[in-house]
């Protein structure tokens, strides 16, 4: 049996404050992510056979990685399914072996947070991890470990919560939402990709 996409846990929303200055590329990415709010209303980690390239599960459902995948596809025409698959085929040994696979699986590889972390590092997108909201720019990607064991990923918004934290657009169990979750769990990745 093939492994399902990683599960992500839930967090309470916060009320947005003033916007953060954003580049035009970051604005496109954030708007593409934000357009999923109210559309992707379910969290569904089930394994699905996908078309290739540009495969996707129905937009009404998905996981945290689908928010990122759809935002990059909608904003820039970048297909993370094909990009991750190509890189994994050429560099399979550097990707995690958590799922016991012996070869790539274009249906699920790009939907796994640990694989996206490796891909983004290999793209030169990794930045220093910081616990200060001032070190995060709109459009940045974060990855974290929910409860120390469940991988999660999301996009930093151009809006702030009332406490000053940048909001994040993500799906952590209740569909795509924009919430104060950037620092809710232990961060293990900070990335800035294709925003220049």
* Domain of 109, in residue numbers: 16-191
Q: Give pLDDT, residue 19.
A: 58
CB 142 within 8 A of CB 182: yes
Show the DSSP H helices in 35-91 as ranges: 64-76, 80-90
Q: Give pLDDT, residue 13.
A: 46
Q: Which of 34, 32, 24, 40 is nearest to 174 (CA)?
A: 40
Place of tokens 């470990």: 145
Q: Give pLDDT, residue 6.
A: 46
pTM: 0.90
Task: Tell me the average confidence (pLDDT) per consecutive run of 10 residues in the chain, 196 residues long.
Answer: 43 51 91 98 97 98 98 98 98 96 97 98 98 96 96 98 96 97 97 95
Domain membership flag for residue 5: no
How many structural domains does the chain have?
Answer: 1
Domain membership flag for residue 157: yes
Domain membership flag for residue 2: no
What DSSP state is assigned to residue 183?
T
Q: Give pLDDT, residue 158.
A: 96
Domain membership flag for residue 4: no
Domain membership flag for residue 48: yes
Q: Give pLDDT, residue 92.
A: 98
Compute the CA torsion angle 8, 11, 17, 19 (nearest 10 deg): 0
Domain membership flag for residue 10: no
Q: Give pLDDT, residue 12.
A: 43
DSSP, residue by residue, 112-168: -HHHHHHHHHHTT-B----S-GGG--TT-EEEEEETTTEEEEEEEEEEEETTSPEEE
Q: Give pLDDT, residue 23.
A: 84
Specify the pairing of strand 61-62 against strand 141-146.
Answer: unpaired
Q: What is the CATH number of the domain that holds 60?
A: 3.90.1720.10
Q: Give pLDDT, residue 196.
A: 84
Q: Give pLDDT, residue 22.
A: 76
Domain membership flag for residue 7: no
The span from the CA of 87 to the CA of 89, in Å, is 5
Domain membership flag for residue 8: no
């Amino acid at each position: 049996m093939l492994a399902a996409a990683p599960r992500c846990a839930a967090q309470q929303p916060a009320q947005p404050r003033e916007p953060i200055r954003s580049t035009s590329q970051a604005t496109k990415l954030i708007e593409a992510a934000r357009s999923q709010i109210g559309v992707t209303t379910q969290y569904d980690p089930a394994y699905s056979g996908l078309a290739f390239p540009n495969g996707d599960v129905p937009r009404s459902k998905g996981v945290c990685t689908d928010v990122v995948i759809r935002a990059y596809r909608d904003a820039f025409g970048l297909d993370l399914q094909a990009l991750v698959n190509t890189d994994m085929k050429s560099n399979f040994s550097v990707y995690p072996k958590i799922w016991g696979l012996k070869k790539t699986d274009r249906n699920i590889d790009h939907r796994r947070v640990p694989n996206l972390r490796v891909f983004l590092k290999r793209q030169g997108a990794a930045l220093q991890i910081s616990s200060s909201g001032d070190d995060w720019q709109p459009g940045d990607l974060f990855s974290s470990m929910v409860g120390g064991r469940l991988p999660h990923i999301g996009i930093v918004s151009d809006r702030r919560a009332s406490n000053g934290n940048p909001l994040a657009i993500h799906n952590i169990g209740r569909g795509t939402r924009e919430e104060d979750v950037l620092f809710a769990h232990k961060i293990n990745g900070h990335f800035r990709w294709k925003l220049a």
